[in-house]
Amino acid sequence: MRSRYRLSREETVTALQVLLELPDVEIEAR
């Protein structure tokens, strides 16, 4: 496991959108 977090730009954007959808994480992630 060299690079576990091998995400492309689209993957990262999608992950951010998912985090923003969560109400609890929305405050902490800011």
| pLDDT tens column, 3-25 | 677 778 888 888 888 888 876 65
Q: How much is the pLDDT for 3?
A: 65
Q: Which range of residues forms the domain containing residue 16?
A: 1-30
Q: How much is the pLDDT for 1?
A: 52
Q: What is the domain count for the chain?
A: 1
Q: What is the pTM of this model?
A: 0.41
- The tokens of 8 are what? 């492309």
Q: How much is the pLDDT for 29?
A: 55
Q: E-assigned strands of the chain?
A: none
What is the C-alpha separation between 16 and 7, in angstroms, rounded? 12
